[in-house]
Amino acid sequence: MNAPSPFVFPAVPDGVVERPTNPLKLAPAHARFGLPRQIHVPETSIFQNLEASARRFPGKTAIQFFGSATTYGALLRDVEHMAGWLQAQGVQRGDRVAVFSQNCPQFIAAYFAILRADAVMVPVNAMLLQDELRHILADSGARVAFVAQELMPCAAPLLEQGLLRHVIVHAYGDALGGDEAGMNIPDSVRTPSSSQALPEGAVRWQTALQAQRTPARHLASPDDLCMLPYTSGTTGAPKACMHTHRTAMTSFVGSTIWRRCNSETTFLAVAPLFHLLGLQNNVNAAIYMGGTVVLMPRWERETAAFLIERHRVTFWAALPAMLVDFFAQPGIEQRDLSSLAMVTGGGAATPDSINRLLKQRYGLDYIEGYGLTETATFLCANPVHAPKRVCLGVPTFGVDLRIVDPETLQPVAEGEVGEIVAHGAQVMRGYWNNPEANAQGFIVIDGKRFFRTGDLGCFDADGYVFMRDRLKRMINAAGYKVWPAEVEATLNGHPDIHEACVIAAHDAKRGETVKAIVALKPGRAADRESLLAWCRANMATYKAPRIVEIVDALPKSATGKIAWRELQEAELARDRSASALPA
């Protein structure tokens, strides 16, 4: 028996149901063509998934990193030794340990070593700067960290200042082996461990492994914390989401069943593992079943095509912007992508041209889904047998999803826009050390605890959910509500537009007006005036952009999403600067 969880979670009022329990049920209308009416989520820890797969498939490839393969047996061996090293440094059950790195085999081994040691993984965006890293370490209480070699200049001062006690340093090049797969691997990935001395308190990855420490008995229960992923901070300072083995497992176990994955599924893992999109859909799902993870440190379209061909990738979780770039590369029609059986994703409107291309050229539907860091990603998904385009799908196993008026919290009628709220076993237990955010983020409806997503959507007659926008992103143009995602979806239908982002711009008469920032397809020469005219002809007057800015490329987040907030903040800064100029 596992020992009781040592964690204290935010209190739930007496008589309120926090989450559904096993088995998790699916609406009968959607339980067709292989989707079961209910699923049972394992009552174990996430580490035990690796342990089970390594016993079943010890010689099978768990991780493929360019031309270097790591078997399940080797991965479990390294995880055990690294967990023993962590415990020898004083890491105890419930302690937080950070991972600051791009995608690499060491990231996956570090993650499972942390769980094996009964500790809590804190994934850190590899693009953060020192002050941002300092905030996450201080907020989470992580005093031990796994850090990629090129990121040590950011982490070393925090070690020297005492915020960190121990750092394990890894180099991507050490995981490459002798086969570079015939690819032009960037120097940032090729570089092996440096011979330079490390600051006091830091140790190299291989040194820690070579100590061959044996960890104590695994104690974590399903209701122990397993990770503290931080939100992107689009509504304020980043907040840590308290996910247990049970909440995280609910998500990826449900997604593997939903998407027809099995032990022979090969996953292309290019989404960053420091985001749950990558960690849940590619690593946790693969290890649970005994599948294979083909790792890419960062997005590069030619490399993605090469890896799909070489390793016969079957499953690809790809954001729409990634697909747009991938299929725009020269010669893609000649690449052998016939192994692909599932292309899934979400997070933004998918251009119809991409949907048509996937269907006509490869016989595939783009299976869109919906989730948040707070829900461990998997909340809604399109059924594989009946997907709808530009749609979030239907509530998945055990999920009670409702759409309510954001102010009154009363349900809205079918087809009407309201805030998406969700009750499900994958919903986080709460925000870490943030009672104010917990009070704002959860409500009680019909005796159940619901999470307020801050996203706006509506149901159609078939029970499918359609995203309309973020609650905070709405543009108020002379009293008319304009949802940027809706305008972006229309703009993506223009033959010359590669991708688009819609933001609010100041207008002396309307208060706010609609501004479109667009990147054109190669060789296209649409100008601002023709785009404005097209907008007026293709959408309601109050929605049509009054300003169009043409740029070479739109900024992206680490997960490949268009960084709309960055563009919005730049627009606000320009407006403030203009207002400060003398008349």
DSSP SS3 for 577: helix
Pair 223, 299 in one domain: yes
* Residue where a domain terminates, one of 423, 456, 489: 456
User: Is residue 108, in this structure, part of any structural domain at all?
Assistant: yes
Which of the listed residues 430, 456, 482 is the one where a domain comes to its end? 456
Q: How many domains does the chain have?
A: 2
Evaluate the CA torsion angle 300, 131, 238, 11 in order and state its sign.
positive
* Position 9 confidence tier, pLDDT thresholds 50, 70, 90: very high
Statement: residue 370 has pLDDT above 50:
yes
Statement to judge: residues 446 and 497 lie in one domain: no
Domain that holds residue 397: 24-456
Q: Are residue 515 and residue 449 in the same domain, yes or no?
A: no
Residue 254 is assigned to a structural domain of this protein: yes
Domain check: are 314 and 413 in the same one? yes
CATH number, domain containing residue 518: 3.30.300.30
Give 581's pLDDT tier (boundaries 50, 70, 90).
low
- The Cα 303–Cα 295 span in angstroms is 11
Q: Looking at the predicted structure, is the pLDDT value of residue 347 above 80?
A: no
Give per-residue pLDDT as tens, 154-203: 999 999 999 999 999 999 999 998 777 678 788 889 999 999 999 999 99
* 558 and 507 part of one domain: yes
Percent of all residues in the chain with a pLDDT value above 90, rounded to a whole number: 77
Contacts of 105 (CB under 8 A, 6+ apart): 63, 65, 68, 70, 75, 175, 295
pLDDT in tens, 399-417: 999 999 998 999 999 999 9
Across residues 76-91, what is the average pLDDT?
A: 98
Same domain, 99 and 169: yes
Tokens of 439: 């009070």
Element (H, E) at 302: helix 301-311
The values of phi and psi at residue 402, to 5°, are -130, 160
For the stretch 245-255, pLDDT in tens is 999 999 999 99
Of the candidates 299, 274, 331, the one whose C-alpha atom is nearest the C-alpha of residue 307 is 299
Question: Is 17 a member of any domain?
Answer: no
Identify whether 136 is part of a domain: yes
> pLDDT band at 2, cuts 50/70/90?
low
- pLDDT, mean over the chain: 92
Nearest Cα neighbor of 326 from 285, 358, 294 is 358
pLDDT digits (tens, 9 = 90+) for 115-159: 999 999 999 989 888 888 999 999 999 999 999 999 999 999 999
Asked if residue 394 belongs to a domain, the reply is yes
Q: Which two tokens stand for residue 417?
A: 């826009």
Nearest to 220 by CA among 91, 73, 124: 91
Task: Answer yes or no: do 381 and 354 share one domain.
Answer: yes
Q: What percent of the chain has pLDDT over 70?
A: 96
Task: Report the run of H or E that residue 132 belongs to, with start and end.
Answer: helix 130-140
For residues 450 and 185, which has the higher predicted lDDT (pLDDT)?
A: 450
User: Which of 1-15, 89-103, 161-175, 330-344 has the weakest average pLDDT?
Assistant: 1-15
Asked whether residue 10 is assigned to any structural domain, the reply reads no
What pLDDT does 346 receive?
85
CA nearest to 280, candidates 308, 261, 299: 261
